[in-house]
Amino acid sequence: MDTIVAIATSTAAKAGVNIIRLSGGGALSTAKSVFFSQALKAAEMAPNMMYLGTVRAKTFAEKAFCVYFQDPRSYTGEDVVEFHCHGGQGVANAILRLCVEQGARPALPGEFTKRAFLNGKLSLAEAEGIAAMTNAQSESEILQSYKLLSGEISQGIYAMQSKLIEVLAALEVRLDYPEETADEPNEPQKEKIQAVLDEIERLLDGAKLSKAITDGINVAIVGLPNVGKSSLLNGLVMADRAIVTEYAGTTRDVLSETVDLEGIRFNFLDTAGIRESDNEIEKIGIERTKKTIKSADVVLFVMDMSQPETAEERQLEELLRDKQILRVSNKSDIGKNQRKSSLVIKAKPPRDIECVKNELLKLAGRERIFSTGIITRERHIFCLKEAKNYLRQAISEYDSCPVEISILNIRAACGELAKITGSDVSESIIEEVFSTFCVGK
């Protein structure tokens, strides 16, 4: 393959060090033509050694480190060279242009990792784990991305494929030698198919938590005016994010704040209090609150313990009947009118709100997220659903249809699992996967 080059670090902000990466058959010769070091005057550049020297061009010189990774023991499986230079977009871009002048071409998005996949250095799922790790924004997302890129998820998929291949082999024998295998029981093969189906269903059940990992959980803080919604938001995000006054209707718009609670991302949405109002601005805020409620994963329904339950409160609760609700009774220091099945807190200043955090973490499935591998990629979820359908069909028709039908369904299920690991995948899927990567990966 030709030699590619890209800046492997972000130049969006100032950094101490930038890395320019070359990969391909001409990587080492390109490096030798631009990098000069006292340590290399009478010696060849040894693999896995970092050399201090100078990257020199006609118009500039840069003090930098250079390291060479010899194929196949490199990230891409090809010769790879990296320059570690001073941070700053100008320096990195100058070295990049210099390498292009020496014959390398700019790498496409994800091209380094694509070459690693094509050279058998990692599975397609592991490659997607690298992209997921790059974009991770919370500890839970980092954890699940690592499980993907480390091969933990792939190994589980390979194990299911292996079990199905055993079944296919047994069925092929039955098809080729019907008389000799006529008395063999069906149950052992059906049990193997069912075991794989059970594992797929377990993975799909866990995948329901994928949104919490990748996008965070949208939590709408809802209630009548002046019940302490903004105080609760400030307590949850540990900052004076919302204006708090003793006057009702202070919040006129939806206020959004994202915070990481014990590794889970929550998108808190403080809303305008819902009530009858003649104020046009407040009415707009109330309408936006209603839209926010519809899009929320969880609603914190805040009630004022210093006031008795009202008809307006009951009407608001009716509006929330189809949502996942966590009831919160606020102002416990000045009131005793606790509502049914609610958490008792004092949100100003934030006291006793740990119970709210704990319940939110429980609803988010934090314990499961941090204890097992969760499928988070939509492509993988789709393939697992397709494989599940084929295996369900295989089991339902196993005793009543010719063995050829079972073989077709099981092969199709194997094909869907192979799409996840990349062991049997079309070029279009490969292109789609790597198109989501950044340049330099």
Mapped onto helix, strand or coil, the DSSP state of residue 329 is: strand
Angle between helices 124-135 and 152-176 (to 10 degrees): 160
pLDDT in tens, 64-79: 999 999 999 999 999 9
216-369: which CATH architecture?
A: 3-Layer(aba) Sandwich (3.40)
pLDDT over 80 (residue 303): yes
What integer pLDDT is reported at residue 242 of this predicted model?
45
Peptide bond into 350 cis (omega under 30): no
Q: How confident is the model at residue 411 (pLDDT cuts 50, 70, 90)?
A: very high
pLDDT in tens, 123-170: 999 999 999 998 898 999 999 999 999 999 999 999 999 999 999 988
CB atoms within 10 A of CB 423: 16
What integer pLDDT is reported at residue 268 of this predicted model?
92
What integer pLDDT is reported at residue 178 of this predicted model?
63
Q: How confident is the model at residue 247 (pLDDT cuts 50, 70, 90)?
A: very low
What integer pLDDT is reported at residue 211 of this predicted model?
92
CATH code given to domain 4-107: 3.30.1360.120
Instruction: Give the mean model confidence (pLDDT) for residues 21-31.
Output: 95
The closest alpha carbon to 195, from 218, 167, 216, 172, belongs to 167
Are the C-beta atoms of residues 433 and 419 closer than 8 Å to each other? no
C-alpha separations of 388 from 194, 274, 377 in Å: 10, 45, 17
Return d(Cα 437, Cα 6) in angstroms, integer.
Answer: 13
* Percentage of the chain lying above the pLDDT 90 cut: 55
Q: How confident is the model at residue 56 (pLDDT cuts 50, 70, 90)?
A: very high
What integer pLDDT is reported at residue 286 of this predicted model?
64
pLDDT over 60 (residue 248): no
Q: What is the mean pLDDT of the chain?
A: 86
Superfamily of domain 126-208+377-434, CATH level 4? tRNA modification GTPase MnmE domain 2 (1.20.120.430)
Query: What is the residue extent of each domain of the chain?
Result: 4-107, 126-208+377-434, 216-369
365: left (phi over 0), alpha (psi -120 to 50) or beta: left
The closest alpha carbon to 405, from 416, 418, 415, 391, belongs to 391
Is pLDDT larger for residue 285 or for residue 402? Answer: 402
Q: How confident is the model at residue 114 (pLDDT cuts 50, 70, 90)?
A: very high
Return d(Cα 386, Cα 350) in angstroms, integer.
Answer: 48
Peptide bond into 349 cis (omega under 30): yes
What integer pLDDT is reported at residue 238 of this predicted model?
79
pLDDT in tens, 180-226: 555 565 678 889 999 999 999 999 999 999 999 999 999 999 888 88
pLDDT over 70 (residue 273): no
**Taking the alpha carbons of 220, 224, 228, 231 in that order, is the dihedral positive or negative?**
positive
What integer pLDDT is reported at residue 76 of this predicted model?
96
What integer pLDDT is reported at residue 182 of this predicted model?
57
pLDDT over 90 (residue 433): no
Q: Which long-range contacts (CB under 8 A, 24 or more apart) does 115-121 make?
A: 115/1, 115/23, 115/76, 115/77, 115/78, 116/75, 116/76, 116/77, 117/422, 117/430, 119/72, 119/76, 119/77, 119/78, 120/77, 121/72, 121/75, 121/76, 121/77
What integer pLDDT is reported at residue 403 of this predicted model?
82
